[in-house]
Structure 1
Amino acid sequence: MASQVQTAGVGFRSERGPVLLSVMLCTGLVALDSTIIATAVPSIVRDLGGFADFPWLFSVYLLTQAVTVPLYGKLADVVGRRPVMFFGIAVFLAGSVLCGFSWSMLTLILFRAVQGIGAGAIQPISMTIVGDLYSIEERAKVQGYLAGVWGAASVLGPTLGGVFAEYVSWRWIFFINVPLGMAASWMLARHFKERITRREHRVDYPGAALLIAGCSLIILGTLQGGTSWAWRSLPSVLIFATGAALLVGFVFVERVAPEPVLPLWVFRQRSLVGGNLSALIVGAVLIGLSSYVPNFAQGVLGLGAVVAGFVLAALSIGWPLASSVSGRVYLRIGFRDTALIGSGVVVVGTVMCALLSERTSALALAGACFVIGVGLGLVASPILVAAQSVVGWDRRGVVTGTNMFFRSIGSALGAAVFGAIANATLNDRLSHPPAALAGRIPGGPDATSVVLGSAGQPTDVAEYLKASLYEATHHVFQALIAVAAVGIAVLLFMPRRTATPEPAESVTPEHAAG
């Protein structure tokens, strides 16, 4: 690979600034779409119906995003970053427009899947471009900017979704992506150039198909198990068995594929194994907090939606702050030890969440979220930079995509597992109320909605519903402690020191690859 080397500075003042801005805008598209739909769900259900199916609006987007990431990572190393990024943006925007014109819940779910297919390219290729343009010393600060985009999206997303749903139309939460995506595409086309030496490639389509199908079935079984069917029922056994068989077939295909979509060497290098497992833990912790902190804040503490959003925003404040300074730390003590410190901080934060009572303050909950955010910032950036630093340009897309894949899979599995824990607790509480409340506790598909908004219920019923929700979220917080503790263990797979670091240099946007 021939490249023009230049150290023109970090961030927006260098000639790489416009590329970074466009990457941040692309990242913002994915981040915003992950949060903006939450507050618009009631309006969507009123228009389209399908209350029982609306959770798929979140899970199908996450699923298609996760399983396509490795394929995009490989394609980025084969044909370059630009075409894969432009393809992802185009598919994402097409899905957004289709979502805006949806005429039923089923069509909206299908078009959300299209959005996820596009998002599967945008997030990892954005990180890969950053890995190409910035040196190890610079990346932590730049990734702090990207983490800040996610932080801003977590605050602005629910607010914008509520504004659109209440004052305009929920359809505009999708249409708003079009001008933003076009602006990002224009900036990338104008400022990010690359020259690829073309050679014959064989894209591993059979391996990609097996990976996508196998992961889809495993996640489908996890998401729906215990809800649509019993865990030990025939559908559950068949789905998990078929998914496992497809993944076993995927391993055999990858062993003989000339250019595997997810090469097995990724699972033989300790830096990559430890980093990928750690990314899975990060994804699980992140989805657990994002899903249940708002419920705890509103349903247990009685806070308003805006205040609950600001409580969760404390997580997003801590993450970019820690991410931006993590570079100074890992350059001194190494990637693994920095991530171990971060994992310890995450454990402390999850313990703080588990110790919260029904009468805790919003400030205490925000403080726990901030601590966890700091911990995640000290984990996510070092493990990604470590993965990128042990390979060359031609493999950086694969390892970045793999890291993002594991984080997305962690979120998907975490959502299912934490949901199962919370639902089991609520079902038990609502099915076995005290004798004095027998026959007065709601049941059926609307039970959770009543729990989250118990206004209008008699005082004793409302208190019992509030206590039920507290117990459910408390069990989720306890599970988060266990997950965070596993995060410490998996980092021990990483060597204390990685391979020789890259030189302190960066390539210009007009870089050449061959």
Structure 2
Amino acid sequence: MDSQRDLGSWREMAEHWRTVVVLAGGVLVGAVNIYLAASLLPTAVEEIGGERLYAWTATAFLVAQVVATLSVARLLSVRGAIASYVIGFAVFVVGSLLCAASPAMVVLLIGRGIQGLGAGLLTGLGFALIHSALPRPLWVLGSAVISAMFGIGNFVGPALGGLFAQFGSWRAAFVVLAAVAALIAALVPRALPAGERRAAQPVPVASLLLMLVAAAGVSVAGILDNPVLMAAVLAAVVATFVAFVVSERRAHHRILPHATYQRRSPLLWVYLSIMLLASGVAVETFLPLFGQRLGGLVPVAAGFLGAALSFGWSASQILVSSARSQQLIRRLRVAGPLLMAGGFAVLGLLQIQDAPLPVVIAWLPILVLAGAGIGIAMPHLSVAAMTSVTDPDEGQKAAAAVAIVLTMSTALGAAIAGLLVNLGGASLPTSARYLLYGFAAIAAIGVLTALRVNKLTTASPPGVTNPPTDPRKHLPRNRKQQMSRT
């Protein structure tokens, strides 16, 4: 028998518009900033110099973002929701204004690091507070809106950055970003519950250090030109991740929820599925290049290829977030990576030198469909993470960990994409095929992890995918409570 999930409507969602604007807006400014900065930096370098430090602007941002995302649970426990969000927006505004005022590349690097701290806090808070700031029936819709902000940022950022760069106003772009963040921050006191403050949790030092080493390794791999050296660094990153898992399993205080490491919990498989899906976004970095050099498109038209993947991701999330049938939800989790793998594989077949215009035009709907593979699965995987534990604190940590996984998977995907393109050597069609076939294989692995998620969640009652580890904690205290439950 197919159970139905208790799901709110978009009309109910509109009643919480301030909360949605704050949660989604915080994620959006961070996502826009990544691609905005990439578009602006060439212009900034012409003015302030520092070309040798160019690649490190992304590294500074990424490492700082990971540090901040890992700190969300601790910040919430000490400061509560409102103060945490105000801190996140304030840090992001300070970093943006420092970037705008940078007289030299070193100062810009510092500003990018501060921006990364703010963006990491806002991204982590956005996912963590779905659990407490929105009613449970709105979790799926909230997850869909917030996750869609990554896709929207992927095509708004370059367009906005290109517009400001065109007029030589790269500093003004950072000022505008700071102003938008400040406006959203003004809604925070009326949009969020204050949240209960608790004693600060001990910092899981070993796990945190291993995650930082992995983040730094991914960043370094992404800027290397030698494929062998890049592969060696990525292998070291994988070894660091393994050490992280071992450390987390043995530790008393962890970054990820305890249920992640329980045998019958779907949480580990949920995170792996999210990582395998989200890493595929790295493909869009090279799509404008392929469009120009293989398809003969002008830069503006080639830019739409990069935006097509993100558009498919964002639009499909909104369309499927209203799914109520548990059977349909299970199918969407599997269909997502399957659609993405098929889209990349077909697109790989169409990568030829001097491709005819009809072939190039066919790339666009294929990319939209491949992006839709992320969108149809992502909100349901995010909610699966939140409902995989019964303890509210662990549920908040499970939700916040989605942001950690997304941040790391995007960075890891970028490094893998660089490696695959480099393997193609001087032949651009070969590089394009390696890239697309490689990520098709990665997405195909996601089919297997999604099937594992479905198997583990089907075994549990609807709405509770990971039964309590200690049933005695959930037994009624007396006969009266037992009768009231029945």
Identify if the C-alpha distance between structure 1 residues 215 and 271 changes in structure 2 by more than 3 Å, giving closer, same or farther.
same
The aligned counterpart of 1:394 is: 393
Residues in 2 aligned to 1:295 and 1:8: alpha-carbon distance in whole angstroms? 42
The aligned counterpart of 1:471 is: 430
Which of 280, 283, 286 is 1:292 aligned to?
A: 286
The aligned counterpart of 1:484 is: 443
- 3-state SS of the aligned residue for 1:204? coil
Identify if the C-alpha distance between structure 1 residues 163 and 194 changes in structure 2 by more than 3 Å, giving closer, same or farther.
same
The aligned counterpart of 1:353 is: 347
Equivalent residues in 2 for 1:57-136 (5 A)? 57-76=57-76, 79-135=79-135
**8 Å contact 1:283–1:410 — kept in the other structure?**
yes
The aligned counterpart of 1:441 is: none
Please, which moves more after superposition, 312-321 or 245-254? 245-254
With the length of structure 1 as denominator, give the TM-score of the two structures. 0.78
Identify if the C-alpha distance between structure 1 residues 302 and 137 changes in structure 2 by more than 3 Å, giving closer, same or farther.
farther
Deviation at 1:276, TM superposition (A): 0.6
Deviation at 1:29, TM superposition (A): 0.6
The aligned counterpart of 1:442 is: none
**8 Å contact 1:75–1:84 — kept in the other structure?**
yes
Residues in 2 aligned to 1:65 and 1:300: alpha-carbon distance in whole angstroms? 35
Residues in 2 aligned to 1:133 and 1:199: alpha-carbon distance in whole angstroms? 17
**8 Å contact 2:60–2:116 — kept in the other structure?**
yes
Residues in 2 aligned to 1:265 and 1:214: alpha-carbon distance in whole angstroms? 24
Deviation at 1:212, TM superposition (A): 4.1
Residues in 2 aligned to 1:232 and 1:488: alpha-carbon distance in whole angstroms? 25
Identify if the C-alpha distance between structure 1 residues 228 and 53 changes in structure 2 by more than 3 Å, giving closer, same or farther.
farther
Identify if the C-alpha distance between structure 1 residues 389 and 101 changes in structure 2 by more than 3 Å, giving closer, same or farther.
same
Equivalent residues in 2 for 1:156-175 (5 A)? 156-175=156-175
Deviation at 1:65, TM superposition (A): 1.8
Residues in 2 aligned to 1:369 and 1:246: alpha-carbon distance in whole angstroms? 30
Identify if the C-alpha distance between structure 1 residues 137 and 294 changes in structure 2 by more than 3 Å, giving closer, same or farther.
farther
Q: Which has the higher contact order (CA 8 A, sep 6+)?
A: 1
1:306-326, CA deviations, whole angstroms, 9 ceiling, x for partnerless residues?
222333333233223322233
Q: Does 1:48 align with 2:15?
A: no
In the alignment, residue 440 of structure 2 is paired with which amino acid?
A: I
Identify if the C-alpha distance between structure 1 residues 75 and 138 changes in structure 2 by more than 3 Å, giving closer, same or farther.
same
- 3-state SS of the aligned residue for 2:194? strand
**8 Å contact 1:221–1:240 — kept in the other structure?**
no
The aligned counterpart of 2:374 is: 376
Residues in 1 aligned to 2:100 and 2:239: alpha-carbon distance in whole angstroms? 36
The aligned counterpart of 1:275 is: 270
Q: Does 1:302 align with 2:300?
A: no
Deviation at 1:395, TM superposition (A): 1.8
**% identical aligned pairs:** 22
1:257-307, CA deviations, whole angstroms, 9 ceiling, x for partnerless residues?
3x433344323253211111111112210122x211121122322323322
Q: Does 1:25 align with 2:25?
A: yes
- 3-state SS of the aligned residue for 2:266? helix
Deviation at 1:332, TM superposition (A): 3.1
1:139-186, CA deviations, whole angstroms, 9 ceiling, x for partnerless residues?
333333334444443333222212212224211221112211111111
Residues in 2 aligned to 1:473 and 1:130: alpha-carbon distance in whole angstroms? 38
Identify if the C-alpha distance between structure 1 residues 83 and 321 changes in structure 2 by more than 3 Å, giving closer, same or farther.
same
Residues in 2 aligned to 1:326 and 1:405: alpha-carbon distance in whole angstroms? 24
Note the residue ranges of structure 2 that are not aligned, 5 or more in a row.
1-6, 465-486
The aligned counterpart of 1:363 is: 361
1:5-57, CA deviations, whole angstroms, 9 ceiling, x for partnerless residues?
xx995457643112112223222211211211233232122123343542332
Equivalent residues in 2 for 1:88-487 (5 A)? 88-135=88-135, 137-196=137-196, 198-204=197-203, 206-207=205-206, 209-224=208-223, 227=226, 230=229, 240=236, 248=243, 251-252=246-247, 255-257=250-252, 259-268=253-262, 270-288=265-283, 290-329=284-323, 331-333=325-327, 335-356=329-350, 357-358=352-353, 359-361=355-357, 362-391=360-389, 392-426=391-425, 429=426, 468-487=427-446
Deviation at 1:67, TM superposition (A): 4.3
Identify if the C-alpha distance between structure 1 residues 60 and 298 changes in structure 2 by more than 3 Å, giving closer, same or farther.
farther
- 3-state SS of the aligned residue for 2:200? coil
Please, which moves more after superposition, 277-286 or 69-78? 69-78
Identify if the C-alpha distance between structure 1 residues 275 and 11 changes in structure 2 by more than 3 Å, giving closer, same or farther.
farther
- 3-state SS of the aligned residue for 2:115? helix
With the length of structure 2 as denominator, give the TM-score of the two structures. 0.82
**8 Å contact 1:77–1:395 — kept in the other structure?**
no
Residues in 1 aligned to 2:208 and 2:347: alpha-carbon distance in whole angstroms? 40
Identify if the C-alpha distance between structure 1 residues 207 and 16 changes in structure 2 by more than 3 Å, giving closer, same or farther.
farther
Identify if the C-alpha distance between structure 1 residues 17 and 220 changes in structure 2 by more than 3 Å, giving closer, same or farther.
closer
Identify if the C-alpha distance between structure 1 residues 328 and 220 changes in structure 2 by more than 3 Å, giving closer, same or farther.
closer
- 3-state SS of the aligned residue for 1:87? helix
Residues in 2 aligned to 1:116 and 1:37: alpha-carbon distance in whole angstroms? 12
Residues in 1 aligned to 2:287 and 2:410: alpha-carbon distance in whole angstroms? 15
- 3-state SS of the aligned residue for 1:270? coil
**8 Å contact 2:221–2:415 — kept in the other structure?**
yes
